[in-house]
Structure 1
Amino acid sequence: MSSRGPYRRHSAPFKLQLCQDIRAGVIGRRDAQRTHHISANLIHMWLTQFDRGELTSEEAEASVIAEYEAKIAALERKVGQLTMELDLVKKTSRPPHGASSGRSSIVTGPGGALSDGGAKL
């Protein structure tokens, strides 16, 4: 048996749809277990929640909205971090005005030092 790693999380819409399908007779519990690789205890727990009205489409939508809001917040933090890093790089990579002596090229870099007598063998 292969290891699946840490716990898997299933979305509220998935749970709701699976419970509706099982209760409507579209799919049996064992077929759901095999198809989605879910334990019987987990399906039983979801069906209990579904029967009590704890799994509803409103909760599923709220769950999806909460997931999106969390992703948006994480992306906003990342954008802020990258903006700060970019500002720091811009400040530190510029040489002071007038400090560069001689010609410089992006491709070749600063010009080489001139030799005073040429190469000697």
Structure 2
Amino acid sequence: MSARGHYRRHSPQFKIQLCTDIRTGKLGRREALKTSNLSANLVQMWLTQFDRGELDKEDAAASTVAEYEAQIAALERKVGLLIMELDLLKKTPWLRLVSDSENSSIISGPKPAPFDGDAK
């Protein structure tokens, strides 16, 4: 049983840049193969995807995933802060905002001040 080598992964930006350089004539295929140490079949597959516009979709999907990961991290930080705040509130005794002599309700709060008459 032979040991297989690990697969290299190339970013969508690298693929797009390489295909753009080949298609514009900045770089020849053979030169790209030698400098990047890539197989001809792989470069041909990237060029086909590039011509169809599939590499741009892959790049957009990668950036969308990065945006989602950033949003998830921000939400996780917010949840952590809210949990810490809730734990702190659970540990502190309830403060009475209204004296014992006044009737109050959780919904309506303390009774309003007496009203002497109509507005003038």
Shorter-normalised TM range:
0.3 to 0.5
State the TM-score, normalized to the length of structure 2: 0.48
**TM-score relative to the length of structure 1:** 0.47
Say which one has the larger Rg.
Answer: 2
